[in-house]
Structure 1
């Protein structure tokens, strides 16, 4: 069984260092042990994070992964809200393309685009697809507090329609007021940061990101837009019945939330290999809207292919999730 995973990351160390310098300190008051905690959580083994060969390939062979679709991970310039983002994103994409060229049968790329400058971002997405062979783009949260439904980002949505490839709506750091108001409390800095980010907060925000694209009419303005949502749909995919029932009363939408979701969104597990969630998503969105992923190198699992083998799937569903949906959506 061929296996393609699509939420897999690498680091460009020099660009990441520049992003950290331009972004300033993390919006959490550090305490003893916080720096070590961040290092362990978001700066994994450097070779695995920075190189598409070596340990990464060895892991893929062991876990049964034929192709990874790779995007920049932590400290990406994608949502850096300053002009330097344009050049930094281009450097990331050129480095990724160069590494993919060394292993062309094993990797594909998602473009890193500078949301700060939507026109430049649209141009960079088209360059990455048409010249570098990338298969879509991945965005990490908001830029300047704005989600993609803001009409200033319409050039990006238009470009994604033009190249007919998906936007992966990935979690990103909540803004400072949200982080302080919702996630600070009588606990260590590591708990605040974890609650605000990879335990809960940024997943909720990523689900809201998809819902804003639906509620704003962006999917009516851009009917060909294709979206990817990790972590089993970032809460939103599990709430479609409630969303349909409540927004039906507003008379705001041309279609139901569920219809928009099922027409425009594909979900991935992002290494959350739980059969109950898989079974629920099969019912909510169907096997033709699920694509496999691991979230390497932040999660390193030996059961990437085994999870699908053990799942309660028929052969057609298993092959759809393992490779066919990715092949069709991203022309792999």
Structure 2
């Protein structure tokens, strides 16, 4: 069995219903120089782009990408049995009303898929009563498999006290949090000039910063049941793991509280590939060796590139690791984290 734990989805009404589209565009915080635009592309497809800041396009959504029949056909071509849907990077800005609309639409889409598509809830992250009620509705009534959050909201990462009320509820519910990278990290001035530096490295820097803050803040001592699945292999976190937690810290310079932090990394943090092929075989094999196959979850970022789904599972299967490692990443880890047993 193969589970793709990162399939993006947006409801068709976002592109066809002007009132919903206008509400979505109003939610994007222009006062922080984030710009949303709708347009028709050269193929006649209704599209939405997100610029942050103005003139720096970081996200693109196309109406034709979210057709159920095409999704299921591409899953069949890839040998993907089930997939977990999430939003493509817009979690950061949504109002409660838009979250409710998207949660209902996502639940319907999952049902129409015959159970092959699983849904994650989206709610504002601040833990007010109405948002907590919506999260409970998603888990208990809509039978969603977890909640999706952004690596940061505005200028604050998830270790900030403003998110603790919501994370405490999630900790009590013992549901996973999928932590999606945002288009660029909080500190991004030097990344803006070049497209791939901004759009590719920016996402990685955002995730590494997010994970580091979560680990070093000690928040998991208070929230021991919280399991956070970070996209993009945590921004390539495996390359920095031992540097950030030196084995010989022993006090003095670079003392990081290594033992506690390593415990949190083992028990509370997991890593989703967000497409296998761009990492390459050597990097994926290194990530497996360093992070452990029991902490890595396969995901394709479909439909950003169709081939990332259709060719992704086979790419993982040819890695020079054991069959048990491959089964953990392609299926068993997602089953365990998202309760799909």
TM-score (norm 2): 0.82
* Cα displacement string for residues 196-246 of structure 1 (whole angstroms, at most 9, x for unaligned residues): 2x3111221122111111111111111111011122221323211101126
1:312 Cα deviation from its structure 2 partner: 1.7
The aligned counterpart of 2:24 is: 19
Picking from 135, 145, 154, the partner of 1:144 is 154
Alignment check: 8 A CA contact 1:126 1:159 kept = no
2:250 and 2:192 mapped to 1: Cα distance?
31
The aligned counterpart of 1:235 is: 236
1:326 Cα deviation from its structure 2 partner: 0.9
1:324 Cα deviation from its structure 2 partner: 0.9
* Cα displacement string for residues 266-302 of structure 1 (whole angstroms, at most 9, x for unaligned residues): 1121113221122112211211111110001112222
Q: Which has the larger displacement, 141-150 or 110-119?
A: 110-119
Alignment check: 8 A CA contact 1:241 1:258 kept = no
The aligned counterpart of 1:253 is: 257
Q: Secondary structure at the match of 2:156?
A: coil
Q: How does 1:23-102 map to 2 (within 5 A)?
A: 23=28, 24=30, 25=35, 26-30=51-55, 42-44=60-62, 46-49=63-66, 51=67, 53-74=68-89, 76=90, 78-80=91-93, 85-102=95-112
Kindly tell me: are residues 149 and 311 of structure 1, through their superposed partners in 2, closer, same or farther at Cα, counting changes over 3 Å? same
Kindly tell me: are residues 28 and 144 of structure 1, through their superposed partners in 2, closer, same or farther at Cα, counting changes over 3 Å? closer
Q: Which runs of 5+ in 2 are unaligned?
A: 36-50
Q: Does residue 183 of the first structure (1) align with residue 191 of the second (2)?
A: yes
Q: Secondary structure at the match of 2:187?
A: helix
Which has a greater percent of strand?
Answer: 2
2:229 and 2:250 mapped to 1: Cα distance?
23
Q: Does residue 165 of the first structure (1) align with residue 171 of the second (2)?
A: no
Alignment check: 8 A CA contact 2:27 2:95 kept = no
Picking from 282, 290, 294, the partner of 2:288 is 282
1:325 and 1:147 mapped to 2: Cα distance?
26
The aligned counterpart of 1:266 is: 270
Kindly tell me: are residues 146 and 122 of structure 1, through their superposed partners in 2, closer, same or farther at Cα, counting changes over 3 Å? farther
The aligned counterpart of 2:46 is: none
Kindly tell me: are residues 252 and 124 of structure 1, through their superposed partners in 2, closer, same or farther at Cα, counting changes over 3 Å? farther
1:307 Cα deviation from its structure 2 partner: 1.4
TM-score (norm 1): 0.84
Alignment check: 8 A CA contact 1:85 1:116 kept = no
1:155 Cα deviation from its structure 2 partner: 1.9
Kindly tell me: are residues 115 and 102 of structure 1, through their superposed partners in 2, closer, same or farther at Cα, counting changes over 3 Å? same
1:213 and 1:122 mapped to 2: Cα distance?
22
1:88 Cα deviation from its structure 2 partner: 0.8
Aligned pairs, number: 307
The aligned counterpart of 1:188 is: none
Picking from 312, 320, 337, the partner of 1:329 is 337
Q: Secondary structure at the match of 1:235?
A: helix
Kindly tell me: are residues 4 and 247 of structure 1, through their superposed partners in 2, closer, same or farther at Cα, counting changes over 3 Å? farther
